[in-house]
């Protein structure tokens, strides 16, 4: 009877659902809401200073591989910004190269350059190639001719430091990076006539790059033509 007479538990009223609070959620590691806000800043805010733009580009790169096309929109108000801030693009290339090596399983017996390891590294190799290609295109669109050459030579060095795979066909992405960078350099040289000292420096560095791939030879010939020394040094590229 005591069990029957036990007082019933009071019903607890369930509160009505609260309205959702709009927040910026990261998609693919990127704060898209904030990025879209930045892209529209020319409509609502004062344009960012050069230092602010440089910091924004650096932050977006380090957060998670933002598409260069989207950053190109952000920096449209200051198209000359990248010429003096290639260090941020260098950090991007260095990070992507590090991702390639981190993806390779070193605990396995046998070669760590075999097909299995290549499949593990492949997505990061593609990301590296995309970075070489798209950042170069951003600089070309902004007519940063000297910066295009500087970026290409910098990316060329990082490309040469990528793993050499046991299967020849697996090294195709490396050669594609060389071809893309050489194409960017040749386009820049067709619009840019460096002064004598800068031309000699670029020619020396291009010849060093030739040790890694012959894709750079058309750029060497074009620069020699610009400098008026093609006849004198043409044998160096054979």
Determine, yes or no, domain membership for 169. yes
Nearest Cα neighbor of 124 from 155, 91, 102, 156 is 102
* pLDDT over threshold 60, residue 124: yes
Which tokens go with 205? 């560095």
Distance of CA 141 to the CA centre of its chain: 16
Nearest CA-CA partner of 63 in 117, 100, 22, 24 = 24
The secondary structure of residue 120, as a DSSP letter, is H
- Domain range enclosing 85: 52-192
What's the gap between Cα 146 and its chain centre? 18
Tokens of 123: 């997505």
Q: Residue 232 — very low, low, confident or very high, per pLDDT cuts 50/70/90?
A: low
Evaluate whether residue 200 is within a structural domain.
no
CATH, residue 91: 1.20.58.1590
Kindly state whether residue 108 falls inside one of the protein's structural domains. yes
CA 100, CA 129: separation in Å to the nearest integer?
11
Q: How confident is the model at residue 22 (pLDDT cuts 50, 70, 90)?
A: very low
43 within a domain of the structure (yes/no) = no
Residue 35, in any domain of the structure: no
Count of the separate structural domains present in the chain: 1
Say if 236 falls within a structural domain.
no
Distance of CA 208 to CAs 15, 156, 201, 205, Å?
Answer: 71, 10, 11, 5
pLDDT classification of 23: cutoffs 50, 70, 90:
very low
Q: Please tell me the predicted confidence (pLDDT) of residue 138.
A: 87
Q: What is the pLDDT of residue 161?
A: 96
8-state DSSP, 193: -
The answer to the question of residue 158 being in a domain is yes
Confidence of residue 228 (pLDDT cuts 50, 70, 90): confident
């Amino acid at each position: 009877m005591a069990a029957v007479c036990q007082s019933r538990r009071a019903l607890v009223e369930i509160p009505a659902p609260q309205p959702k609070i709009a927040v910026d959620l990261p998609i693919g590691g990127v704060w898209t809401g904030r990025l879209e806000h930045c892209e529209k800043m020319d409509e609502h805010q004062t344009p960012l200073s050069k230092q602010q733009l440089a910091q924004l580009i650096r932050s977006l790169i380090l957060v998670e591989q933002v598409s260069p096309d989207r950053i190109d929109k952000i920096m449209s108000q200051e198209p000359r910004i990248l010429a003096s801030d290639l260090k941020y693009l260098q950090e991007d290339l260095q990070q992507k190269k590090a991702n390639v090596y981190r993806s390779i399983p070193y605990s396995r017996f046998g070669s760590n350059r075999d097909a299995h390891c290549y499949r593990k590294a492949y997505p990061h190799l593609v990301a590296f190639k995309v970075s070489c290609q798209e950042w170069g295109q951003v600089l070309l669109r902004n007519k940063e001719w000297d910066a295009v050459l500087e970026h290409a030579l910098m990316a060329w060095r990082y490309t040469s430091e990528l793993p050499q795979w046991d299967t020849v066909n697996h090294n195709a992405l490396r050669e594609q990076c060389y071809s893309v960078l050489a194409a960017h350099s040749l386009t820049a040289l067709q619009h840019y006539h460096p002064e004598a000292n800068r031309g000699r420096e670029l020619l020396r560095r291009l010849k060093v790059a030739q040790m890694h791939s012959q894709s750079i030879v058309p750029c060497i010939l074009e620069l020699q033509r610009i400098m008026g020394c093609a006849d004198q040094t043409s044998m160096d590229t054979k």
